[in-house]
Structure 1
Amino acid sequence: MTGPRLGFLGVGEIARAMVEGIASGPRPYDRILLSPRGRDNVAALTARFPDLEVAGSNADVVAGSDVVVLAVRPENLAEAVAGVSFRPDQVLVSALAGVPIARLREVLGFEGDIVRSIPLPPVSERASVTVVYPDHPAGTTLFDLLGGTLVPADEEAFAVFGGVTATFTAFLDYVRTISAWTTERGVDPADAERFVRSAFAGLAPALRDLDRPLDRLVRDHETPGGFNEQLRQGWFDAAAQDRLRQELDALHERARGE
């Protein structure tokens, strides 16, 4: 054996992204074992990476793994682990949103090490920082491989990051709305979408430059009295920002499991 055995309980979209990222390069794991849940994703992954193994049941995943990734829907957790026996020497890495460690212990009856995580789709390309709590070698080994690890001070701070992840589709819908408006003004839909997608994707290098604070990025991308400033001040004014903060507060409470 060259490394620990990694198992996945649930193979939905996030688990699929994780497995793609892990399997597409050098791996620190002796084996990667998938549960039969998420049949289409399992079939696609094993077709691409034939050395992945598919267990007959969730119980078999746990029995054959040292590190177990919990990647089922929170409401399906109890069903997924029914009849499953965890060993005290295992490490559980939870990708369940809004389920605190205390609740996981209650449902699983597990007193070993549990690491919470917030993996995002770009882990499939090893290109996304993952928030984990608490700091644990099993978590850092896994997520450093997938783009990097960020460990907050406590589980309360972890929940703040959980709330942030709820903003992504709102951003995408913002981009979609701009593209739709462009089309409504007579532009060909394909041209509108091509331009708008390209324009927003072009912001990625600036966002990755951690030496440029976000308030500076705003200033760098607008001219006083220019078009960008007009839209930002006219639409995303103080009232709109307060509304966003209120929604984030509500999401934070939900991410805390309350």
Structure 2
Amino acid sequence: MKLGVIGVGHLAGAVLKGLLNGGVAAGDVCLSPRGRGPEMAERFGFGLAEDNAALVEACDVVLLAVRPGDAAEVVRGLPWREGQVLMSACAGVRIERLAEASAPAEVVRVMPITASELGASPTIVYPMRPEVAPYLEAIGTPIPLESEEQFETATVSAAVYGWAQAMIRTGTEWGIANGLDPAAARQLMARTFVASGRIQGEQDAPMDDILASLCTPGGITEAGLRHIEAEGVPEAWAGACDLVLRKLRGQA
């Protein structure tokens, strides 16, 4: 099976590195000749198509990672065929819109994040198909969803990924300002977020119970959480999620 990539930018670059690290052979991947395609092909040994039509002709699965507003027109008129899968990573672009432009190929929506490069992307997918599973497993953990409406809601996590990094930066800067070595502060804050995610993701106990177990009455965790709640941070966080979802649905 051969994978093609149309739209070789920052996100696709991270995915491509993750695929290599996850055992996908460079020779089994073909890149569009635009964007970072020539550079990535020369550097890592990926194939480089003459144009997008040649790429579609040569590949079984095609990852589309272009600007959402360009997605339908980029795939329109290409030589799609029965049995192909168009795997779209274009936020907010619904299957119906792409299916019309890429018939008779099947359309799957995915949303990887740049942690794909490390094999650490929790990648949402709808609908899951066997052809895309090996690629998603190479870059992290596939999270299949049951409807396109669920997919839109889950896509908000791609924004949360950035917000979490901003919080890590804030914590790091606070630590440095209070005397920590910059490298130690960065590693401490980053690894603390990783540890928090693993505890919640890998244990079966209710999320509230896990948090409660950390909040000793009168202790530092409880005191900090009370301050955060008093400042309206949880409500602001939920509001930001609402804003992003409206934007994905074209309502903002």
TM-score (norm 2): 0.85
Q: Deviations over 1:30-84 (max 9, x none)?
A: 7210112232x6524642x32x201122222112111111111212325534653
The equivalent of 1:65 in structure 2 is 59
Structure 1 residue 16 and structure 2 residue 21: aligned?
A: no
Q: Contact between 1:130 and 1:150, CA under 8 Å: does it hold in 2? A: yes
Structure 1 residue 5 and structure 2 residue 2: aligned?
A: yes
Identity of aligned residues (%): 32
The equivalent of 1:211 in structure 2 is 204
Q: Deviations over 1:187-220 (max 9, x none)?
A: 5545543443444444454244233443233223
In the aligned structure 2, how far is the partner of 1:120 from the partner of 1:96?
A: 12
User: Unaligned stretches of 5+ in structure 1?
Assistant: none
In the aligned structure 2, how far is the partner of 1:219 from the partner of 1:42?
A: 52
Q: Contact between 2:7 and 2:66, CA under 8 Å: does it hold in 1? A: yes
In the aligned structure 1, how far is the partner of 2:187 from the partner of 2:26?
A: 41
User: Unaligned stretches of 5+ in structure 2?
Assistant: none
SS at match of 1:19: helix
In the aligned structure 2, how far is the partner of 1:222 from the partner of 1:75?
A: 46
In the aligned structure 2, how far is the partner of 1:134 from the partner of 1:85?
A: 23
Structure 1 residue 99 and structure 2 residue 93: aligned?
A: yes
Structure 1 residue 249 and structure 2 residue 242: aligned?
A: yes
Q: How does 1:1-258 map to 2 (within 5 A)?
A: 4-27=1-24, 31-39=28-36, 42-44=38-40, 46-47=42-43, 49-50=44-45, 52-78=46-72, 80-81=74-75, 84-106=78-100, 108-185=101-178, 187=180, 189-237=182-230, 239-258=232-251
Change (3 A) 1:82 1:218: same
Q: Contact between 1:88 and 1:111, CA under 8 Å: does it hold in 2? A: yes
1:144 Cα offset (Å): 2.9
SS at match of 1:247: helix
Q: Deviations over 1:91-150 (max 9, x none)?
A: 1110111111112234x2524310001112232333333211113222223323333322
In the aligned structure 2, how far is the partner of 1:23 from the partner of 1:190?
A: 29
Change (3 A) 1:34 1:232: same
Q: Which one-letter code corresponds to 1:165 in the other structure?
A: A
In the aligned structure 2, how far is the partner of 1:161 from the partner of 1:180?
A: 30
Change (3 A) 1:148 1:174: closer
Instruction: Give RMSD over aligned pairs.
Output: 2.8
In the aligned structure 2, how far is the partner of 1:168 from the partner of 1:17?
A: 15
Q: Contact between 2:124 and 2:144, CA under 8 Å: does it hold in 1? A: yes
In the aligned structure 2, how far is the partner of 1:198 from the partner of 1:70?
A: 32
In the aligned structure 1, how far is the partner of 2:121 from the partner of 2:150?
A: 19
Number of aligned positions between the proteins: 251
1:256 Cα offset (Å): 3.2
SS at match of 2:108: strand
Change (3 A) 1:227 1:45: farther
